[in-house]
A = this chain, B = another copy of it.
Amino acid sequence: MSKGGILKGETKQSVKKRHSLISTKSEWSSSDEDEGAQPHEKAIAAGQPNPPYCVRNIEQNAFGRREIEIAEQEMPGIMALRARAKDDKPLKDAKIVGCTHINAQTAVLIETLAALGATVRWAACNIYSTQNEVAAALAHAGYAIFAWRGESEEAFWWCIDQCCTPTATWQPNMILDDGGDATHLMLKKHGAAFKNIKGIVEESVTGVHRLYQLSKAGKLCVPAMNVNDSVTKTKFDNLYSCRESIIDALKRSTDLMFGGKQSVVCGYGEVGKGCCQALKALGCVVYVTEIDPICALQAAMDGFRVVKLNEVIRQVDIVITATGNKGVVTREHMERMKNGCVVCNMGHSNTEIDVYALKTPDLLWERVRSQVDHIIWPNGKRIVLLAEGRLANLCCSSLPSFVVSVTAATQALALIELYNAPNQRYKRWTRDQSRRDPETREADVYLLPKKMDEYVASLHLPTFDAHLTELTDEQAKYLGLNKVGPFKPNYYRY
C-alpha cells in the first residue's frame, strides 16, 4: 500500500468514489466520537495481528441491536429468505468477504448469510457511512466486523485487508462487494487466495464497471455477478425508490410547494422516469431532456415535452439531473436560471452538475441548512443547490427499508447461486490455463438468473398481501413454461 493511502494500481476514480459521500467532516459527525485515535491503531499497538473485530466502541452494542431488530421488521423479504432457507444451509462452509455500507439493514443481511451457513468478515466500503452502534452489535454477536465512521484512508484499507488476508482459519471463497475495493485489494495483494474465490457479487455501478473492465482486459479469473442490473434492483432501487425520494429530498431541503412548479428532468432512464412521474403527480409541469431517441419517445408518449436544456432553463423552478453523465448542468446554464431555482442531482455521479464552476470569487456560497447551499450572484440572484451536487438522496434520511430488503435478498441469492452452481454454469479461468478461448474471456460478468430475480420478487409479495396466480398444468404446457418459472425470456423488459 502506498504512503499516500492509494493502493498501487488503484485509480483516481476509485479514490474519488470512496470520498464521494463526504462534504466536510463536520457535517457528518454529530458527536466528538469520530475524532481522536483510529481504533485499529490500538489493535496494532497492542500487537494483535488478527483481532477478532475492530469497531469504535463495543459498548454501543445494545442500541445497535435494537436498530437491527427494527430493521428486521421492515425487511420482510430477506427475513422470509432466512426462515425458508435456514434448514437447507445453502451457504454451508461459505467464507464471505463483505465490503459494503454498514448499517442496520446490512446487519440483517449479514445475520441472514450466517443463518444460511456462511462465515463472514466484513469491512466498510465508505469511510463515513458506518453506523458505529450497528458495527458494535455485530461484533458483540461474534461477527468479524472491521469498520467505524470516520476511518482514515489508511484504516480503510487496513480494515478491508483484515477480511481478505487468508489465515489458518480463514480462506475466503466468496466476495460481496460494493464499489470493487475488496475485489481490487484481493486481486492485487492476495492473488493466490483470489484463485480460491468461487464468485464475486457486486452491486454498485462503479464496481460493475470495474468488473467489466477487468473482464475485457482478461484479468478477471472468477465469475462475477452484476446484481446492479438485476430486474428487481433496477426497477425498485431506481424507478420506484426515486419516485419517492425526489419528493422527499426536495421537500425536506427546501419546503417548496410542487403544485404549479416548472421543472426539468435531465435524463429519462429509470431514475428520470421515477422523478417525472412523481413531480407530474404532484402538480408540476415537467420537461425532459434526453440524448437517447428511444427514451425521448417514451417521455413524449408519457406526456412530457422533450426539450434541450437551454430552451427552458430561464423559466424552470427546479432542475434535476438523472443522467449518469458529466457536465449536464453547466455554469452557463446556471447563469441563465431564475432567482430561487433549485438544482439537484438524482443520478449516481456527482459530476452531472458542474459545481466546481460555481466556486469562483464572484459568487457567494451561503449554507442555509444541512445539505442546502444558496449560491448568490452579484445581482442578488440565488440558486439553491442541494447536497453540493452529490446525490440528492443525501437530503433524506435513508433508503426505504423495503428497497434495501430487495437489494439484500438479491445479494444473498446471487451468493447462493454462485456458491452452488455446477462447475460449467459460470466460466472461470486461471493464469495456469495455457489456452483460453478469446471469445469467452469477456463472459465472466453475469446477470442474476431470471429465476432468482423472480424468487426475490416472490419473497416480497406478502408485504403487499399480493396473491400470485398459479398456472394449471394445461396452461403451462400451452405457454411452454415450467409452472414455477422462469416466466419470461431473458430479453423481456418489464
Residues of chain B contacted by A291 (CB below 8 angstroms): 468-471, 487
Is A292 engaged at the interface, CB distance under 8 Å to the other chain?
yes
**How far, in whole Å, are A252 and B490 apart by their CA atoms in the complex?**
37
A308 to chain B, nearest CB (A): 5
Q: How large is the interface on A (under 10, 10 to 19, 20 to 34, 35 or more residues)?
A: 35 or more
**Pair A283/B257 contact, Cβ less than 8 Å:** no
Is A457 engaged at the interface, CB distance under 8 Å to the other chain?
yes
Is A258 engaged at the interface, CB distance under 8 Å to the other chain?
yes
Known contacts A258-B244, A485-B292; decide if A301 and B468 are in contact (CB<8 Å). no
**How far, in whole Å, are A398 and B254 apart by their CA atoms in the complex?**
11
**How far, in whole Å, are A160 and B347 apart by their CA atoms in the complex?**
53
**Pair B306/A285 contact, Cβ less than 8 Å:** no
Is A83 engaged at the interface, CB distance under 8 Å to the other chain?
no
**How far, in whole Å, are A96 and B7 apart by their CA atoms in the complex?**
61
**Pair A475/B260 contact, Cβ less than 8 Å:** no
A261 to chain B, nearest CB (A): 8
Is A12 engaged at the interface, CB distance under 8 Å to the other chain?
no
A133 to chain B, nearest CB (A): 15
**Pair A447/B292 contact, Cβ less than 8 Å:** no
Chain A 467-493 interface 0/1 with B at a Cβ cutoff of 8 Å (1 = within) = 111111011001100000101101101
**How far, in whole Å, are A74 and B374 apart by their CA atoms in the complex?**
14
Known contacts A257-B402, A303-B283; decide if A487 and B235 are in contact (CB<8 Å). no
Residue of B nearest to A457 (CB): B293
**Pair A494/B244 contact, Cβ less than 8 Å:** no
A2 to chain B, nearest CB (A): 26
How many copies of this protein are present in the complex? Answer: 4
For A280, A311, A396, A463, the residue with the greatest tally of chain B CB atoms inside 10 Å of its CB is A463
Chain A 280-303 interface 0/1 with B at a Cβ cutoff of 8 Å (1 = within) = 111111000111111111111111
Is A340 engaged at the interface, CB distance under 8 Å to the other chain?
yes
The listed residue (B281, B293, B325) touching A282 by CB distance below 8 A is B281
For A292, A299, A447, A487, the residue with the greatest tally of chain B CB atoms inside 10 Å of its CB is A292
Residues of chain B contacted by A247 (CB below 8 angstroms): 247-248, 251, 282
Residues of chain B contacted by A454 (CB below 8 angstroms): 292-294
Is A461 engaged at the interface, CB distance under 8 Å to the other chain?
yes
**Pair A324/B479 contact, Cβ less than 8 Å:** yes
Known contacts A478-B326, A479-B324; decide if A305 and B293 are in contact (CB<8 Å). no
Binding site for B on A (CB under 8 A): 73-74, 229, 231-232, 234-236, 240-241, 243-244, 247-248, 251-252, 255-260, 262, 270, 278, 280-285, 289-309, 311, 315, 324-328, 339-340, 351, 396-398, 400-403, 447, 453-455, 457-458, 460-461, 463-472, 474-475, 478-479, 485, 487-488, 490-491, 493-494
Other contacts beyond A299-B466, A300-B461: 17, CB < 8 A: A229-B491, A235-B493, A241-B257, A244-B251, A247-B248, A256-B400, A257-B403, A278-B281, A281-B281, A285-B305, A292-B485, A300-B464, A308-B469, A325-B479, A327-B472, A351-B478, A493-B493
